[in-house]
Every structure is written in C-alpha cells, then in structure tokens.
C-alpha cells in the first residue's frame, strides 16, 4: 500500500518541494491551501503537480476544515508547514501570528491525537526561536537557550514545546525540525535573498535603479529548500521521534549576500543599495549559525548546495524569467 502524506501549507516554497520529493518516493500526497483573492497566488508553485496531488481548502484556525482534511486523507505522515512565515510582518499582525503559528499547531495536534495517533507528525520549527542567544563558539545547537525576539519566534517556540509535550504525554511520534533559513527560486520575493537576487537582476536589465533594504549587518545561515525538505523526510522517518537542527554551519551577512549577487552580475552593490527604515524590525535577530551535527551523524543528512550554488540557482532563475 502506498504511504499517505498530508502537508499543510503545500503551496508554499517548502510544501511544493516536499510534495515533489514525496511523489518521487511514491507517496499519495494530500495538502491544504488557503483561499486567496488572487487565485494564482494559491497554486503558482504547485500548478505543475495538479493531477498528482489532492488539495483541500483549509485554515490552521478553522478546526472543522482541518478535521475534514484528516478524515479524508487518513495520513501516515503529517508535515505541518503552514504558518504566517514572515518575521517582520509578525510585528504588524502579532495576534494573528500567535494564533496561526501556535494555536493552529494545537488544533493540528489535537486532531492528530484523536483521529490518527498511529501516524507520524513533523513540525516546522524555526531557528528564529533562538533569538539572540549564541554559544561561545558562535553557533546555535539543541542545548542553546531559546529567547525569541519576535512574535513569530514566540509563537514557534510555543508550538515547539506543544509538540514535545504531546509526544511525551500521549506517546505520539511527533518530531521537530529546527530549520535555519532556507531559500530557493520559489522563495517569496519579500524575503531578503530573493528580494536581493530579483532586484539585482532587474537593475542589470535596466528595469530598476536601486534596491531598498533594512538591516544589512545581520547574519544568516542560508541553505537550499530542496536539501531541507529531504531532511524533513529523514526526521519524521527516524525510528524515535526527536528534535533535529538543519543548517549548513556557514553564516553570511546581508551585506555579503549583496556583494556576492551583484558581483556575479558584474556590478558593485554599493552603487545601488540604499537603506530604508521601513524594512527594519523593532527587535532584530542579529546572528544565526546552526550546528547540524546531530542530523549529519544520526540521520546521515548533508546539504548538496553551498551558499554560492544556492545564490547561482536563484540568479539563473531570475535571469531566465525577467
Ligand atoms: N525580508 C527582508 N527584507 N529582510 C531584510 C531586508 C529587507 O528588505 N533588509 C535586511 N533584511 C534582513 C532582516 O532584518 C533579517 O535580519 C535578514 O535580512 C533575513 O530576513 P528574512 O529573509 O526576512 O528572513 P528571517 O531570518 O527573518 O526569517 C526566515 O528564516 C526563519 C528561520 O530562521 C523566515 O523564513 C522564517 O519563516 C524562518 O522561520
């Protein structure tokens, strides 16, 4: 019998790559999408999978819609990826963010516990949960204290703890993947990597003349979404439910990112980048570098993309599209 996977947020960057990955492993794939007034926004990343996957309208805050999806998909594996995923926007809509990213996960866990407790559950946890805590060697790992600095991070931390609690209290196979930033050509263009790459290509082609950014001194550990969805599958299928960090172990500032991308296009970023306070955050997470040694040693996971090949993939994409 084919395995059945349910992916909440299947139309997002990770949801779409995970759906492709699970189809390649012969799964039946089910997923939830949220209604949007611009219909194209709902399925632009999964249109090519139309005939191969089963999608349902649902919302993390609408428990009856989730119950219908659980009952119709009867999942063996549940990947909970749906969320309000933009950290800066979470300061503007804190209540919505906390409800969706924390109470929404509680809705999912209650359905999991009562409808299909024999299934496996993966929660998309985030390096944003660490806030500004860094170990003395300059990395974050599973033992690093978590002190989030955004409504998004606070909500993700509550969800992370709920998953651990449900695992222990109800003996469920519920796992957390703490994923550091991961990008791709499918990344929303209001996240910094795709914003920089897309605008740099537009400047190169004479379509724009400047790039407005916020804080250029923060550092992130950027990997490729394709590598990270592979890790999700390994985490959920590990014999014991557990927590894992997924990261490259390399960090770069937003400034380094600009220098690489503009340099690749034979331009100097300093001629085009201007700072706009609009893109600053009330509290900033300054530095992320993940220690994924447990995922490497226990699961045998390792990334195929480097920072440079990730950026090159995104540059090639926009050079073709624009
Ligand atoms: N989005 C954005 N736009 N970020 C900017 C800009 C800008 O114009 N200018 C500077 N930045 C800086 C941000 O202040 C932040 O320090 C860094 O670029 C990365 O921002 P994002 O790409 O928006 O990602 P994020 O780190 O806030 O959050 C992402 O990673 C988390 C994992 O740590 C998201 O994918 C989250 O959903 C994810 O959990």
- Report domain extents, the chain: 4-182+224-246, 188-220+251-288+306-321
* Ligand 1 atom closest to residue 85's alpha carbon, by position in its atom list: 37
Does the CB atom of residue 87 touch ligand 1 within 6 A?
yes
Which residue is closest in CA terms to ligand 1's atom 14? Answer: 215
Interstrand relation of 219-220 and 252-253 (parallel, antiparallel or unpaired): antiparallel
Q: What pLDDT is recorded for position 294?
A: 98
- pLDDT at residue 40, as a whole number: 85
Contact between 74 and 116 under an 8 Å Cβ cutoff? The reply is: yes
Question: Looking at ligand 1, which atom is closest to the CA of residue 190?
Answer: 1
> Smallest Cα–Cα separation from 241: which of 116, 121, 84?
121
pLDDT digits (tens, 9 = 90+) for 242-274: 999 999 999 999 999 999 999 999 999 999 999
Q: How far is the CA of 64 from the centre of ligand 1 (A)?
A: 33
Q: In the prediction, which pLDDT does 39 show?
A: 86
Q: Are strands 173-179 and 243-246 parallel, antiparallel or unpaired?
A: parallel
Is the C-beta atom of 20 inside 6 A of ligand 1? no
pTM of the model: 0.98
Rounded to whole angstroms, the Cα distance separating 226 from 234 reads 13
User: 141: which 2 tokens?
Assistant: 């790992």
Cα→Cα distances 154→94, 147, 149, 290, Å: 10, 8, 7, 19
| pLDDT given at position 12 | 98
Token code pair at residue 235: 């985490």
Active site residues: 126, 128, 152
Distance 260 CA to ligand 1 centre (A): 17
Ligand 1 pocket member 255 (CB < 6 A): no
CA nearest ligand 1 atom 23, residue? 191
pLDDT at 24: 98
Whose C-alpha lies nearest to ligand 1, atom 25?
87
Task: Please state the φ and ψ torsions of residue 249, each to the nearest 5 degrees.
Answer: 85, 10
Atom of ligand 1 nearest to the CA of 183: 35
What distance, in Å, lies between the first and last C-alpha atoms of the chain? Answer: 44
Strand-pairing partners, residue 244, are 177
Domain 4-182+224-246 superfamily per CATH: NAD(P)-binding Rossmann-like Domain (3.40.50.720)
For ligand 1, atom 4, the nearest C-alpha belongs to 192
Distances (CA, A) of 68 to 58, 65, 115, 116: 9, 5, 11, 13
Ligand 1 pocket, residue 124 CB under 6 Å: no
181 lines ligand 1 (CB under 6 A): yes
254 lines ligand 1 (CB under 6 A): yes
Name the residue at shortest CA distance from atom 36 of ligand 1: 85
Q: Which CATH superfamily is domain 188-220+251-288+306-321 in?
A: UDP-galactose 4-epimerase, domain 1 (3.90.25.10)
Same fold across 4-182+224-246 and 188-220+251-288+306-321: no
b/e sequence 198-228, b meaning 16+ C-beta within 10 Å: bbbbebbeeeeeebebbbbebbbbbbbbbbb
Q: Residue 258 corresponds to which tokens in the numbers above? A: 């600009």
Q: Which are the contacts of 214, defined by CB distance < 8 A and separation ≥ 6?
A: 88, 275, 276, 277, 278, 279, 280, 281
Q: Does residue 253 contact residue 273 with C-beta atoms inside 8 Å? A: no
Cross-strand bridge partners of residue 53: 29
For residue 195, the CA-to-ligand 1 centroid distance in Å is 10
Helix (H) or strand (E) holding 33: strand 28-33
Interval between CA 137 and ligand 1 midpoint (Å): 23
Ranges of residues in the chain with a pLDDT under 50 are none
Ligand 1 centre to CA of 282 (Å) is 13
Check pocket membership of 281 for ligand 1, CB cut-off 6 A.
yes
């Amino acid at each position: 019998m084919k395995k059945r996977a349910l992916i909440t947020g299947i139309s997002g960057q990770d949801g779409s790559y995970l759906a492709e990955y699970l189809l390649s492993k012969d799964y039946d794939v089910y997923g939830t999408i949220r209604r949007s007034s611009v219909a194209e926004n709902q399925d632009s990343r999964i249109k090519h999978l139309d005939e191969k996957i089963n999608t349902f309208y649902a919302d993390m805050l609408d428990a009856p819609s989730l119950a219908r999806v659980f009952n119709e998909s009867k999942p063996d594996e549940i990947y909970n990826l749906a969320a309000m995923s933009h950290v800066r926007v979470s300061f503007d809509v804190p209540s919505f963010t906390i409800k969706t990213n924390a109470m929404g996960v509680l809705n999912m866990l209650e359905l999991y516990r009562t409808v299909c407790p024999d299934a496996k559950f993966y929660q998309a946890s985030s390096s944003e949960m660490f806030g500004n805590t860094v170990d003395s060697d300059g990395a974050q790992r599973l033992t690093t204290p978590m002190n989030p600095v955004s409504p998004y991070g606070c909500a993700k931390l509550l969800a992370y703890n709920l998953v651990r609690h449900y695992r222990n209290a109800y003996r469920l196979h519920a796992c957390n993947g703490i994923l550091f930033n991961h990008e791709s050509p499918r990344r929303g263009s209001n996240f910094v990597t795709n914003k920089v790459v897309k605008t740099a290509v537009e400047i190169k082609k004479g379509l724009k003349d400047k790039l407005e950014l916020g804080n250029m001194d923060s550092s992130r550990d950027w990997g490729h979404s394709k590598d990270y969805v592979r890790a999700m599958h390994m985490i959920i299928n590990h014999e014991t439910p557990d927590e894992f960090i997924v990261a490259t172990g390399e960090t770069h500032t937003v400034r380094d990112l600009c220098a690489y991308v503009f340099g690749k296009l034979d331009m100097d970023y300093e001629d085009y980048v201007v700072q706009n306070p609009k893109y600053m955050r009330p509290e900033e997470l300054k530095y992320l570098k993940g220690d994924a040694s447990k995922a490497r040693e226990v699961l045998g996971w390792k990334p195929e993309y480097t920072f440079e090949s990730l950026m090159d993939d995104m540059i090639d994409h926009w050079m073709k599209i624009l």
